[in-house]
Structure 1
């Protein structure tokens, strides 16, 4: 299950967890910093983040708060917290329509996960599978979270009799699945395929939502911005470089390789085959950011240099000259000096 691009997911995938942490008195800024995420990213639920970061974020909280945390953080309306996925659910008349809309749009939610909705006699099954290598404990924690979100589509209005008929997911390597049955109110069995499978009856799927339907903008089905880049490894790295650079400092080769589920040697080799390198990609992103800051405002060059992480105006000026063959002052709009 080797990856060819860096696996990404929308930031909204972590929102139910962050809301739970905030509501339970955890200092969210510190928790996000420990997870390698800048606190500012919460302002944009559709922003892509490394899938590995989201999974490890949930797993770290599970180790501290209990291995069934993936179930406990999801409220009955948890699906509404998932950015444009929540918008699709709110635009639906029934759970069946919601699942049909979400599965068609899920391609735009994450680059290495697949969601399907399969009708059968008496009901239908929703399945989710990751296309990345994860150990059994990480799958146990992550798949219960995904299962709870799937179930929240039918429980979001607090109606009785909305439990699934059957759930399949990866057991914990030591504890099995005994922790989870009380959360789902139905039999929970080991998956034979590695995928989450949640089965609902037709009665549950076709029960109309009582809340007023929200009109759907056609563009919302794709979120905001591409989640798969241009299909290259370099393109997928470019997608998250602004986020990684916003933390301060530069991402290392080892860090990016970890996000990509690759060794550093494999990452280097594949980038070389695409005619680039991580340092070149970082330089291009810094160049684009610096030019944007210099041309879009009249902020002093010294302040732009500080925002870009340069210790002195002189080092920033040399970098700008290297990128653009011009000094920062020449790039200003409406000013000729700093």
Structure 2
């Protein structure tokens, strides 16, 4: 079974350019982790380092059947393995993979490709571990040269903010139109518990409510600058149940009413 070849990662456009513009797999994975919210609002791709292991955590923010989830996981681990091969190293390159098994075939049909490192995921979430020593091996020159095209230079530069807070803001923004996204929804999207999310945000000196306010403030300013947006429409776009709730929130955040804010040249 050969799902991903050396061209596949490059052909993913924005994501491919981000990944293969890096110097080694670890840098590529970290850049992907930050870029994913700009690429997709329905999935998360987190990368962390613990001792001598790189851990990759992938979740979908909506429910799909087990067979479809399995197909997504097979594609992702195939691409991860190919990314590691750009270093010139040979398999096995993934230390441990917890993934959704196929409802009928289980994991046996892909064991030849990924050896005995596959384990069924109890939660249905994809978790991959890679040795840090493998992830830090530089890419070969050929792999880097394959990304040399003008379009990669047009990608918006990635911010250096790799915090969890920076990662959840695009997810919050994507969910706002359907009503206020609760912390429970955000935690599910990131594949963790509410307590874990709160603790990590606290470690960064912030909170979920602060990030929600920040997203709403930025979106409110952007929409008000468009000019022809009603307060009712703005309330819906920002996930407020009523226009009065929007007015109170804007006054709390800026000291001004929405109409005053729209006319204030400072904003």
Q: TM-score range by the shorter chain?
A: 0.5 to 0.7
Q: Please tell me whether Structure 1 or Structure 2 has the larger radius of gyration of its CA atoms.
A: 1
Which residue is equivalent to 1:253?
Answer: 183
Does the aligned pair in 1 maintain the 2:171–2:186 contact within 8 Å?
no
| TM-score for both structures, normalised by structure 2 | 0.55
Number of residue pairs matched by the alignment: 220
Kindly indicate whether residue 115 of structure 2 is the aligned counterpart of residue 189 of structure 1. yes
Give the match's secondary structure for 2:115.
strand
Change (3 A) 1:217 1:190: same
Change (3 A) 1:225 1:315: same
- 1:107 shift after superposition: 2.6
Give the match's secondary structure for 2:33.
coil
| TM-score for both structures, normalised by structure 1 | 0.46
Give the Cα–Cα distance (whole angstroms) in 2 for the partners of residues 260 and 150 of structure 1: 20
Which residue is equivalent to 1:79?
Answer: 9
Where structure 2 has 5 or more consecutive residues not aligned to the other structure, the ranges are 35-45, 60-66, 84-88, 119-127, 132-139
Kindly indicate whether residue 190 of structure 2 is the aligned counterpart of residue 265 of structure 1. no
How far does the alpha carbon of each residue in 1:269-297 deviate from its partner, in whole angstroms, 9 at most, with x for none?
44445554322321232122113212342
Does the aligned pair in 2 maintain the 1:297–1:333 contact within 8 Å?
no
Give the match's secondary structure for 1:225.
coil
Does the aligned pair in 2 maintain the 1:130–1:195 contact within 8 Å?
yes
Which residue is equivalent to 1:108?
Answer: 31
Give the Cα–Cα distance (whole angstroms) in 2 for the partners of residues 207 and 295 of structure 1: 46
- 1:86 shift after superposition: 2.8
Name the Cα RMSD after superposition: 5.2
How far does the alpha carbon of each residue in 1:2-25 deviate from its partner, in whole angstroms, 9 at most, with x for none?
xxxxxxxxxxxxxxxxxxxxxxxx
Does the aligned pair in 1 maintain the 2:22–2:28 contact within 8 Å?
no
Q: How is 1:1-338 mapped onto 2 (pairs within 5 angstroms)? A: 77-87=7-17, 104-110=27-33, 112-113=46-47, 129-132=54-57, 144-149=74-79, 166-167=91-92, 170=97, 177-180=107-110, 188-191=114-117, 194-195=129-130, 214-215=149-150, 220=155, 224-226=157-159, 229=161, 231=163, 233-246=164-177, 248-272=178-202, 274-333=204-263
Give the match's secondary structure for 1:332.
helix
Does the aligned pair in 1 maintain the 2:172–2:212 contact within 8 Å?
yes
Give the match's secondary structure for 1:190.
coil
Does the aligned pair in 1 maintain the 2:183–2:194 contact within 8 Å?
yes
Change (3 A) 1:106 1:300: same
How far does the alpha carbon of each residue in 1:269-327 deviate from its partner, in whole angstroms, 9 at most, with x for none?
44445554322321232122113212342323333233334454344323322222222
Change (3 A) 1:109 1:296: same
